[in-house]
Structure formats: C-alpha cells, structure tokens
Amino acid sequence: MNIRRASVAALRCWLRHHDLVNPAHLGSRLRLGFYASRATAATATTTNMTRILCVAEKPSIAKAVATHLSGGQYQTSNTRNTYIKNYSFTFDFGPPWGHCDVTMTAVKGHLTAVEFPGDYKQWEFPPPDSLFDAPVLTVVPDDNKSIAKNIEDQAKRATALVIWTDCDREGEHIGSEIRDAARKGNRQIQVKRARFSNVERAHILSAARRLVSLDEKQVDAVAARIELDLRIGYAFTRFLTLSLRPMGGPLQGLTLSYGSCQFPTLGFVVDRYFRVKNFVPEPFWSIKVMHERDGIKVNFNWARHRLFDRMMAVVLYERCLVARTATVTKVSEKPTRKFKPLPLTTVELQKMATRFLRMTGQQAMTIAEKLYNKGFISYPRTETDRFDRGMDLRALVRKQTQDSRWGPFAQNLVDGAFQQPRQGRHDDKAHPPIHPITYAAPQALDDGERRLYELVVRRFLACCSDDAKGVASDVEMLYGDEVFSAHGVMVLERNYLDVYPYENWSGTAVLPRFTVGERFEPTEALLSEGKTTAPSYLTEADLIALMDANGIGTDATMAEHIEKIQERQYVRTVPRGGGGAGDADDGSWPRTGWSCGAGRPRRGSGGGGGGSGVREFIPTSLGVALIEGFDRMRFETSLGKPFLRKEMELKMKAICEGRTTKQLVLRESIEGYRRVFEQSRAELNVLKAACRQELKHVGLVMSAVVFGRPLLEQNATLRIETPRRI
C-alpha cells in the first residue's frame, strides 16, 4: 500500500488493521505527515507497537492481571520499591490500539496524602479553627516516591495508561492519583480504566477490551471525604488537647483526638455502658407448665410469655389450676432446616475470630493478611458474600481432602454432596468472599495462622455443603383460658454442622406424641417469678456489628478504630465474667489517673460469647466525660453519634450521582463543623466541669464520677442512680 497516495479513510482502515493508532487522532497527525514514515517503519519491523502502561491498586492484582493478559508469558523486572514489580508482555487490546507492548505495574493503595503547609504544623498557632480554611497540600509521601517515579518513567514511553484499581470509590480516587503521576511523565498520555470485579481469566480479558473512563464524580466524592477528615480531625484534636491540657493531672500528657470514626465508635461503647448502668431490673411472673410423657419432660411456654403484674398472673394461674386438665388444640410436624452460613466477608471474619479464636479484630486481620500473602487464602478485605457463578468451587474443595480434620468431609462433598453456596446480598464488585486458595498443612503455619486458616476452611466447606435438616414438632394446648405451646426438633441430617463447630442446633429435643383433642393433667404447673436482666457490655463482635450497621469505618479500618480508642485511653477491655470493678481498676490503671467504669461481674451471655476468652468494652471516665460533654452541648447532631459520618456518606453518594458537587459539599460541611467548633469553644466549661469533677476523685477512691454522679462503687454491687440516659 502506498501511504502517500491513500485516502484518509483507507489509511485509517489500514492503520487500524495494523494496530498502529487510535483513528480518532489521525486527522491532525496526518497533516503533520506523522505516520508516513512511522508506518513504513512498522511494516519493516514489528517491534514498534503501541505501548500501554497498566497500573493496579496492589501488586497481587498486577501479577494476576499480567498473567491473564499475557497468557503467562511475561518478563519481570524489579523497581526501586521492594514490593512493586513491572511485568512486560504483549497483548491485543482490540481497536483502537490492537496488539501492544504492555508494562503492568502497581501502587500500594493510595499514592498520595493530604497535609497542611509547614506554617500550620504548630499546634498553638495559628489557632486550630484556622485549619478549616487553611490550604491543603497533596503530596507523595516518602515511602511512595519510588512508586510514583516508576509510573512517571513508564508513562514517558506509553501512548496510554490503563488503570486497574479496585472497582469502588476509593479505587476510583487511587486511579486519579495514578493518572496524575503518569501525566507528570507524559502530559499527552491517554487515560482509561478497566472495570473488573474479580481476577478470573475471562473476566479480566473482557475488561481489557471494554475500557471506560475514570468516573470524576467518584474521584470528587472521595477527595471531599479526605479533605474533611483531615480538617475536622486535626482541628478538633488540637482544640480538645490544648483546651483540656491546662487542667493538669493526667490530661497533661494525653492526646485527646477526635475523628469521624473513632468518636462514634467510642459513642457506642459509652451508650451501652449507660444502658447497663442505668438498668433497673423489673420483676415479672410467668406460668411454667411441664408434662412428662414416655419418659420425656416437655416444657410448655406460656403464650403471654410473662406479665409484669403479679395479681394478674396469680389470677390466670389459679384459673389453670382450677381447670385441672389441659386440652391439646394443635399438633403439627413439618420439615425444617437450619441454613448453612453465607460466604465469608471481612466483617464476619473479624466477628468470628473475636468470638471463637480469642483474637482481636486487629490480630485477625494481621494474620489473615499473612495467610493471603503466603497464598493460602483469598484477599481478606471484602464485603462480598456471594460467589461468582463462574468460580470452580469444587476444585477448591478438592484441595482440602488431604486434611486429617476436615478431609473426609471435603471428600464427601467432592463425591457428590457438594451444593452451591447461598448468595448473600452484598457485592463490592472487587473481591470474592474470603476462601481458601490452596491447602496449608498445619506444620506450615504458626498457631494463630493455623486457627484462622481452619476457620476460613471450615466456613468455606460449610458454605459448599447442605443445610442441616430436621423435623419440627409443635404442640399447642389450652389450660384454663391460657394457651401454651411446646416446640421440638428432631435433627435428621447435620450436613454442614459436621464441619462447622461454631454453630449447633439448639432446642433439639424430640417431643412425645400428642393428638388433637386429647386431655391430660400436666405433671407440673408453677407460677415463677423472675427479674429482667441488664444487657451485657459490648464485645468486640458487637462493636464491629454496630460500626458495620452504622457505616462507621470500612471492613479494613474498623479494627483500627477500635484499637485507637483504647490507645487514647477512652475505653478498655475486661474479660467477660471476670470483669468486675476490682478487675477493671487493677494496679495498672490508676497510674494514668483515669479510673475505669467497670461494673459488676457478669457471666457469659449474649453476643454468641460463651468462650471464657471473650472480652467486653467499657469506657474509662475520660471516654464517658468526652461523649457526655459533647452530648450535653446539645448540638443538632452530637459529635459522639454516628449521624455525622452517615451524613458524609450520603453526601458522597450525592456527589457520585451528580446531585451535588465536591465544592458545595466542602463548603457546607466546613461551615457546619465550624459552627459546631464555635459552640464547643463557647461551651467548653461543660467539658471542663466534667473533667474537673473527674480529676478531684482520681487517686482517692476507685470510683468513676462523671458530672458529680457516682457511676459505680468500689465493691461489685451495682448502685443504680437516677437514669439519665436510656
């Protein structure tokens, strides 16, 4: 083909066929005679292909994507960063680029960070509220400089950048950070983004051929969040620390931080604490009927459950006794099942680890990270509780058949008992549920890894098994004018329960036979008296569940916020059951001057605890004072409540949907927080009063006093003051 004589249309077609150029840019370049010589050269040698730079959010994804795009045929080179490698290969992106030379590399999460200029580094001056409108700089932290430089250098030789970050808002923002780094090296570089939600081969290949643009709205939403967290966090932290420090004592050496996630987290702990403290037991009465038949004792439950009026209960009870016989009114027997668990998410993993493995959420995440890096489990940060239909789960089950503990169970699944896992409703579009990747022999793991790996495997096998099945029998009877019922289950097939010791099927008593219309005289009928009991203090699993439900933090950061409020001495944990006042105020604590508001000893209950290693969260008096202080200032929304974070979430969503803009959100939010700040400054005496009260008592007795009210006495008996918060 003679290029100089060809029409533009024909040229376009030819160039496209030879994978040389994006036809959209052809016109201007043709006029410059750009392609005449280049195309000729290209026919002579095939090495002059379009260069594409691909960048993933993390090294593992870069490797996985490179493997799929190259068919395993890539060359690896090291960069100046230990964790980051560049993979070179060729790949046919289809039109307009066609067959390309590709370099695939990665960042490690966010590439940049925000900070205030040097003249705002001092805490005292300019005053903290100046941070609301101080300039904010975006910088590449030292740790990331080599990563940014690698992208900048690679971009110089590339026609286009393809961003392979996770398919979520943060991923979109990280994409914009990568774009900016690439443009530093090549201002002309085209920018595209691959949308993918797992690293399965066909999915990745299809994503590579269906590139989209970066979503600037999502980028803006995250940028707004980043800037607000910085301004508000720094301003309130400096304000709190500086205004309370002059009061001396333990306040002198502490950093009193505020953060949009750590404060609501503290708020949950304080809230539960008051519910326990202010709980007033109420007496109630209930009729208990037991009937023995065929050697089985059947307990019938009163349809009214319980009454808080003693006289009424007595009257109804007497009517039962007068009637003497009960009449069976309903008998039913029907198949029932106990559902197997959903595929494992990060939040679930943390809840289970804190309940059953005696780990903190933070420890569980660190261990999960290690297992992931060794290739034993999938990516441990995921919100997804449904497996992609295309995944070969049977192959993963087969890998577990060699284990002595759950191998036979896995083998049974392989031999035909396999069932597709349940499909949850969450999908983060970035990662599958947590599951084992390869088999890890117990000797290959340390103690913590072994226990967590076991949990992941058992959960996975349970997911691939069948629900437990049984027959439920229900009997209803009339005794006097009162209705009673009994429920029993006969377990027929345990299925997943055999591999999943974290659950059992309680109430599995088998009922003897009853027939409708029959009359019998109950073996026993009693009027029993009871008292309502206080809720338990929060366990870590409860706290994680609350944060999750209220959108406080992300799966990856919840454990960090929980650590943070302990580090700041806002809360502490005590073993459930062993955690009484004496325990909480052990020798180590008064050294800081803050007594801890632990209550009476409690026995394991609720929260799925059971294990003796479960710890519960109790606020220190400092934590109580901060939350109460802010609550008492009567803002429209207290800083200690989760609503502000939720509002931020809604605003981010609005930016993403184009209903508002980053600029508007920033302006509104900054003004809002500035008002809260002014009000806090004006009502500082409220906060100070709380702390002063506190300081006076420190070192005298081991009692926590907030706003002049004793919260607990030194001994373990609970003294209930007038409830102030319900």
- Residues that bind DNA in the complex, under the rule CB under 7 A: 57-60, 83, 108-110, 113-116, 121-124, 143-144, 166, 168, 170, 174, 225-226, 229-230, 233-234, 237-238, 241, 245, 255, 257-263, 369, 373, 381, 553-554, 556-557, 561, 564
Q: Where are the beta strands (DSSP E) in 82-193?
A: 85-92, 99-106, 113-115, 137-139, 160-164, 190-193
Nearer to DNA, 115 or 427 (CB): 115
- Please answer whether residues 242 and 124 qualify as being in contact, where contact means their C-beta atoms are separated by less than 8 angstroms: yes
What is the nearest approach in angstroms of DNA to the Cβ of residue 359?
A: 17
* Own/partner long-range contacts of 312-321 (Cβ < 8 Å, ≥24 apart): 313/285, 313/286, 313/287, 313/527, 314/285, 314/527, 316/287, 316/480, 316/481, 316/482, 317/287, 317/525, 317/527, 319/480, 319/481, 319/482, 320/287, 320/289, 320/479, 320/480, 320/482, 320/525, 321/480, 321/525
Nearer to DNA, 475 or 546 (CB): 546
Spatial CB neighbours of 397, under 8 Å, sequence gap ≥ 6: 410, 413, 414, 418, 460, 461, 464
- Provide the H-helix boundaries in 495-620: 540-550, 558-567, 581-584
Is 261 buried (19+), middle (13-18) or exposed (0-12) by CB count in 10 A?
buried
Phi–psi pair at 540, nearest 5 degrees: -65, -35
> 538-539 and 296-302: which strand pairing?
unpaired
Has 379 been annotated as catalytic? Answer: yes
What is the nearest approach in angstroms of DNA to the Cβ of residue 11?
A: 44
**Of 379, 439, 537, 673, which one is the catalytic site residue?**
379
What is the nearest approach in angstroms of DNA to the Cβ of residue 117?
A: 11
What is the nearest approach in angstroms of DNA to the Cβ of residue 173?
A: 9
The token pair that represents 101 in the structure block: 């030379």
- CA 544/CA 555 separation, integer angstroms: 9
What is the nearest approach in angstroms of DNA to the Cβ of residue 179?
A: 16
Nearer to DNA, 240 or 276 (CB): 240
Q: Where are the beta strands (DSSP E) in 57-189?
A: 75-78, 85-92, 99-106, 113-115, 137-139, 160-164
Nearer to DNA, 245 or 275 (CB): 245
Phi–psi pair at 701, nearest 5 degrees: -130, 165
- CA 351/CA 356 separation, integer angstroms: 9
What is the total residue count of the chain? 726
DSSP, collapsed to helix, strand or coil, labels residue 81 as coil
What is the nearest approach in angstroms of DNA to the Cβ of residue 557?
A: 4
Nearer to DNA, 182 or 244 (CB): 244
Place of tokens 């709980």: 279
What is the nearest approach in angstroms of DNA to the Cβ of residue 253?
A: 9
What is the nearest approach in angstroms of DNA to the Cβ of residue 438?
A: 17
Spatial CB neighbours of 695, under 8 Å, sequence gap ≥ 6: 247, 248, 249, 250, 251, 593
Catalytically active residues are 379
